[in-house]
Amino acid sequence: MTNPFDAIKTAFGSLKVNVLRSLLTMLGIVIGVGAVIVMVAVGAGAREMIGEQIRSMGSNMILVVPGASQQSGARMMAGSVHTLKSSDAEAISKECLAVKYTAADWSDVAQVVYGNRNWRTRVWGTWQTTFLMRDWPLRCGRMFGPEEEKRAAKVAILGQTVVENLFGDAYPLGKVLRIRNVPFTVIGVLERKGQTPRGDDQDDSVYVPLRTSQCRLFGTPFLDEIQAAIVQAKDEASIPEAEKQIDELLTRRHKIGRKQEKDFSVKNLAEIHETAQKSLNIMTTLLGSIAAISLLVGGIGIMNIMLVSVTERTREIGIRMAVGARYADILSQFLIEGVALAVSGGLIGVILGIVGAFIFARASGWPAAVDPATVLVAILFSGAVGVFFGFYPALKASRLHPIEALRHE
């Protein structure tokens, strides 16, 4: 066989003769490979984002919220019943064995004032287990203890954004600020947590004991009512078990009969993420099939053009054979041309794919990461397409009889 360098030079020489035709032939591969690159980049970005979401909300979380009420047959929105109590949350924490931590919430938005500054933020009444579940440490100060929770102490823990807006450079610990005109002592400052992927600033919040929020700040329509109980299961495997235990416990505690509608609902946050994963997978499959079809069509295009090229260049093949080219020489020449077409298309596709992923990332705000391994696989795969679809035309060329090929007009 001829030396590979000469063969490659010959192949690119032939492709250069009809640049437009070569480019059009590559188009299918370009689109296919481009789609693969964008798909993988965006898919990886979306996965990363979902993972981050799960991490920031805490893992293995279950949300218990009040159910929907009925008034004269008209069903109200979820959370419109007032039967979920902090005692329910306590019971969950005590009786459900598959549960690690439980916290109960009552929050509202309020004006927070310190000195001559003020700031509007969400004030959360909760238990200190919230911080354990979300893996959110204090920068300084301390948590509120069980005793402060019990007596509804007027103590507050601040997020970084609130500290910046109310205190600037001043030292916040031990200072007294007012929430809805109720004086609170700052006992702790949280570490910076950052934004949720949706763009909510988690640091823009104030935490107070649940009872303080219920009794002293906002007041609840019914005694000891909570907006939600947040539960963390022991581990991923025990999530279904924990859900079952919570469901049974609350059904019993709320004395709900078999045919009655439940006045609470248990939501598995992992399920929400699973749904997100699923729709992501659908998108990935869709893009993947576009890519596969494009590569197939592109490959057929290459085969078509290579067959045309073999016919057009029959005489050239005859001349090459007359001066001593063997089967393998002709076969490899046309095979390399097919592969060169496919790989050039692949390279253009990679470049367009990277640009596309970058634009997508910019436009959507999702992270998009182009993995070098993907690029390599895409290029190798387009090479394989070239070999697969270039083989038949190359074989046809190499099988020509030299005399007939020379006679061809």
Chain positions contacting another protein, by CB under 8 A = 2-3, 6, 13-14, 17, 315-316, 318-327, 329, 402-403, 406
Nearer to another protein, 7 or 347 (CB): 7
Task: Give the CA distances from residue 383 to residues 41, 191, 248, 305, 368, in Å, rounded to whole numbers and listed in that order.
Answer: 21, 51, 59, 16, 25
CB of 304 to another protein, least distance (A): 21
Report d(CA 245, CA 248) in Å as an integer. 5
Nearer to another protein, 94 or 315 (CB): 315
Pair 378, 342: CB distance under 8 Å: no
Nearer to another protein, 18 or 165 (CB): 18
CB of 310 to another protein, least distance (A): 15
What is the DSSP secondary structure assignment for residue 326, as one 8-state letter? -
Nearer to another protein, 246 or 321 (CB): 321
What tokens appear for 107 in the block? Answer: 């929050």
Nearer to another protein, 325 or 370 (CB): 325
CB of 313 to another protein, least distance (A): 9
CB of 381 to another protein, least distance (A): 31
Q: What angle, 0 to 180 degrees and rounded to 10, lies between the N-to-C axes of helices 269-312 and 372-399?
A: 30
Pair 360, 38: CB distance under 8 Å: yes
Q: What SS3 state is found at 182?
A: strand
Nearer to another protein, 3 or 72 (CB): 3
Pair 366, 46: CB distance under 8 Å: yes
Task: Give the CA distances from residue 313 to residues 25, 87, 405, in Å, rounded to whole numbers and listed in that order.
Answer: 18, 87, 9
CB of 338 to another protein, least distance (A): 18
CB of 340 to another protein, least distance (A): 16
